[in-house]
Structure 1
Amino acid sequence: MAAMDEWPTGRIERLGPLVRRLLAPNPSPFTFTGTQTYVIGEGEVAIIDPGPDVAAHVEALLAAIRDERVAAIVCTHTHRDHSPASRAVRAATGAPIVGCAALALDDEGPRADDAFDVDYSPDRVLGDGDRIAGPGWTLEAVATPGHTSNHLCFALPEASALFSGDHVMGWSTTVVAPPDGDMADYMASLERLRTRAERLYYPAHGPAITDPQAHLDRLIAHRRGRERQILDLLREGQQAIPPMVEIIYRDVDSRLHPAAARSVLAHLIDMHSRGLVRRAGEAWQPA
């Protein structure tokens, strides 16, 4: 885990000829060092995941692009640590909000991320393969449902890079929390990214991923391993999610256990759809 002083907030950092990063001051056990906002291009730019509606973050972002034109404010999904600052940036710059569709979900269960941004209002929704462009840069939307049903990644072909949002993170696995999070969709989205050729991923949380294909393989293997653990526990007579979480995640910070329970539920729902388990109320059994 990187030291906090290696992840400064309020200061724009250059990561490559077309990519700059600004870290929001919202660190937590769920967001690592905070949400990373990316600025793409020079002179005429796009902003990816403007972040939470935190005044200091918005002020730092606007200061960093003071002499530039914002062509688009781009959102990967609508959790409150990603999209709310889009309104303040739009008000200050006149730039359109583009990217994922709006999603207002009444989900009061324990989460490993903020609840949904119910006020998100895009000027243009991008579908899979849709593009926006500026001088020397292009962003292509890549539909990656799973973490949320409206999640998009964005490819930057000029840098062979992918902005992976929360779908592929640099510090942890992604929480898949029903009812909107869907494990089958998440796994299919991981498999889809394996067919792509980007050599570098910029996630919304954690360091850049320089070995994306190997990283994707590790994420898929991790999820298949979790599935096997759950099936083994069911065969041993465990029927409820809480005790399974206590066993599977015994070495994980207990503050994360409620979120882990949502991921276990997502696995069970997926396994049920594939005929591997059956359900009776809150009890689960192998099929």
Structure 2
Amino acid sequence: MIQTLAPDLRCIRAPNPSPMTEKGTNTYLLGRTDIALIDPGPKDTKHLEAILTALSPGQRISHILVTHSHHDHSGLVPELAQATGAPVYGFGPSHAGRSALMDRLAQDNILAGGEGIDPDFAPDVILPDLTQIAGTDWSLTAHWTPGHMANHLSFEWHEGRALFTGDIVMGWASSLISPPDGDVGQFFTSLDRLESVNADILFAGHGAPIHAPRERIEWLRSHRTERLRAAQAALTRDPQNLEALIPQLYADVPQKMWPAAARNLLATLIELENRGVCQSDPAPGLNAHFRLP
């Protein structure tokens, strides 16, 4: 189903509902003639057909923009690029933008991770932070907003006073932060960046439009800060592994979601270690033990 969200903006939801994607991935079509498509979505023939049939006579997809290279956002890129001939724009391949620490831990295979990563993603056009892109009737600025994933971009739509936020800000849940691709410190920095844009509305990768951006961003900041506080409070001088900490810190979360919670907790503990209030043995990873310094 195609939903009109604003003048020159439509949304097609991909048929991939799940506990991690809510009702599905949002694919946005921006423009009247030259169409900027934001987040192709998962590799799905029906979704590709829905995108192509949404084009009216005289319209063409001129830009394929990808917020980040999780399969549910970038999986359809090859088929869509072949069908339209449009170039693909993104921050870089899936490893681009990692912090030095996360890059080192990833190379040592300590963190495992890689949930849903598209290893073959390779944009035709690299968009460094604050790059501007324009079509005949729209203009965007790419903001590098890592945290959920290191190569994550958000797109500021100037004419609509809006932001396309991918998975860094969603209306229905907080973002999964799974190292080495997710980074809590980067997440906080990205929230500050998004808040500074002062958009009137946020169009997320999943869920409904967010009409109170500042309130939502502040909630996400407070939520993540509380997770940090709670994790630090749970640490003792005696080492504890993730299996011991999860029931203490995520008792309010259904147990079927504890594997994802473990990834979030690992990211939290890495951030606490960066701040000097946690110590891991050995290096931080799924099998490590964590304690107060």
Partner residue in 2 for 1:62: 52
TM-score normalized with structure 1 length? 0.91
Counterpart position of 2:291: 285
> Are the aligned partners of 1:18 and 1:159 in contact in 2 as well (CA < 8 Å)?
no
Residue 223 of structure 1, CA deviation: 0.7
Q: Distance in 1 between matches of 2:32 and 2:277?
A: 51
Determine if contact 1:227/1:267 at 8 Å carries over to the other structure.
yes
Match in the other structure for 1:232: 233
Partner of 2:74, secondary structure, is coil
* C-alpha distance after superposition, 1:176-222 (max 9, x if no partner): 10112111111111122222211100000111111111111111110
Which residue in 2 is equivalent to 1:35? 25
1:43-62, aligned counterparts within 5 Å?
43-62=33-52
**1:119 alignment partner in structure 2:** 120
Shift, 1:66, TM fit: 4.9
Q: State the 1:238 CA deviation.
A: 6.8
- Please say which of residues 97-106 and 184-193 is displaced more in the overlay: 97-106
Residues 238 and 283 (structure 1), Cα distance of their counterparts in 2 relative to 1, 3 Å cut = closer
Residue identity matched to 1:151: H
Please tell me whether the aligned partners of residues 110 and 258 of structure 1 are also in contact (alpha carbons under 8 angstroms). Answer: no
Residues 165-184 of structure 1 correspond to what in structure 2 (within 5 A)? 165-184=166-185
What is the 5 A alignment of 1:143-222? 143-222=144-223
Instruction: Indicate if the aligned counterparts of 1:110 and 1:259 stay in contact, CA closer than 8 A.
Output: no
State the shift of 1:119 in Å.
Answer: 2.0
Equivalent residue in structure 1 for 2:84, among 90, 93, 116: 93
Note the residue ranges of structure 1 that are not aligned, 5 or more in a row. Answer: 1-10
Q: Tell me by how many angstroms 1:167 deviates.
A: 0.5
What's the TM-score once normalised by structure 2's chain length?
0.89
User: What 5-or-longer segments of structure 2 have no aligned partner?
Assistant: 96-105, 283-287
What residue number does 1:142 align with? 143
Q: In structure 2, the residue corresponding to 1:159 is in which secondary structure?
A: coil
Residue of structure 2 in register with 1:14 after alignment: 4
Which residue identity is paired with 1:230?
A
Contact 2:145–2:154 (CA under 8 A) maintained in structure 1: yes
| Conserved? CA contact 2:113–2:180, under 8 Å | no
Matches within 5 A, 1:249-264: 249-264=250-265
CA distance in structure 1 between the partners assigned to 2:237 and 2:19 by the alignment: 32
Q: Which amino acid aligns with 2:64?
A: I
**Structure 1: how far apart are the matches of 2:54 and 2:237?**
56
Measure the CA separation in 1 of the matches of 2:184 and 2:164: 21
- Counterpart contact for 2:113–2:179, Cα < 8 Å: no
Task: Give the ranges of 4+ consecutive aligned residues of structure 1 lying more than 4 Å apart after TM superposition.
Answer: 104-111
SS at match of 2:264: helix
- Partner Cα separation in structure 1 for residue 148 and residue 37 of structure 2: 21
Residues 143 and 240 of structure 1: is their aligned pair in 2 closer, same or farther, counting only changes over 3 Å?
Answer: same
> Which residue in 2 is equivalent to 1:71?
62
The percent identity for this pair of structures is: 38
Matched position secondary structure for 1:226: helix
Letter in 2 for 1:180: D
Partner of 1:6: none
Query: Partner letter of residue 289 of structure 2?
Result: A
Post-superposition shift, 1:71?
Answer: 1.2
AA matched with 2:92: A
RMSD of aligned residue pairs (Cα, Å): 1.8
Asked whether the 8 Å contact 1:141–1:153 carries over to 2, the reply is yes
- Residue identity matched to 1:27: P
> Following the alignment from structure 1 to structure 2, what is the Cα–Cα distance between the partners of residues 109 and 205?
25
Partner amino acid, structure 1, of 2:89:
V
* Cross-structure match for 1:5: none
Letter in structure 2 aligned against 1:195 = S
For residue 181 of structure 2, what is the amino acid of its counterpart? D
